A = this chain, B = another copy of it.
Amino acid sequence: MSLPHALLTSLLEQPCSGMDLARRFGRSIGFFWPATHQQIYKELGKLEAAGWVRSSAEEGARGRKRCYEVLPAGEQELKRWVAETDEPPPLRDAMMVRLRAEAALGTGAGVENDLLHRLARHRTQLALYEDIEQRDFTGRELSAAEQLQYLILQSGLTTEREHIRFCEKALALMEALEPAGV
């Protein structure tokens, strides 16, 4: 479970409130560790109880806005955790189950729907990553931290391109197996 450490990382980059974190997750760490605001608030409470972050009420803001920042103990904990290892996350992909079900049922069951839908989603996501690449990592010298961040983005780019190629290949195969009109 990496949410606490994802939050520590994000707060280390920039102290902010829970709502700000939720928004930033949506366009950076959230690409490979999604989290809703509910999870984030709950976890921030635990981080504060553990003495890894502290929060201070923010004057002149709506609601009960609090700003969180990482304490030295939190940075220590993050360092400790970075040096650990994990098993690779298990895949769980319904589309693969569908393809196998289509094979078991005989063709014509309609897995093309999902293939086309995925294709569109992966193209959208790829375009988003390409925008980020263009905006943040192109045409200048990158610091060490930026080179690492770019590496992570490149993983996303490669993954999306692979998914697109897979969907196209699968659709071509379906076409070949079900000649016109089936």
Contacts and interface: CB of A to CB of B under 8 A. Distances in A.
Interface of A: 2, 5-6, 8-9, 12-13, 28-29, 31-34, 75, 78-79, 81-107, 109-111, 113-114, 117-118, 121-122, 125, 144-149, 151-152, 154-155, 158-159, 162-163, 166, 169-170, 173, 177
A170 B92 CA distance: 25
Interface of A is mostly: helix
B159 A101 contact: no
A82 B96 contact: no
A100 B85 CA distance: 15
Given A82-B105, A113-B83, A170-B151, A88 B6 contact: no
A97 B2 contact: yes
Number of copies of chain A assembled together = 2
A63 to B, nearest CB: 27
The 7 closest A-B pairs by CB, nearest first: A83-B110, A103-B148, A32-B96, A85-B117, A103-B145, A82-B109, A2-B94
Contacts of A85: 113-114, 117-118
A105 B122 contact: no
Contact of A92 (B33, B81, B159): B33
Nearest to A75: B105
A94 B93 CA distance: 18
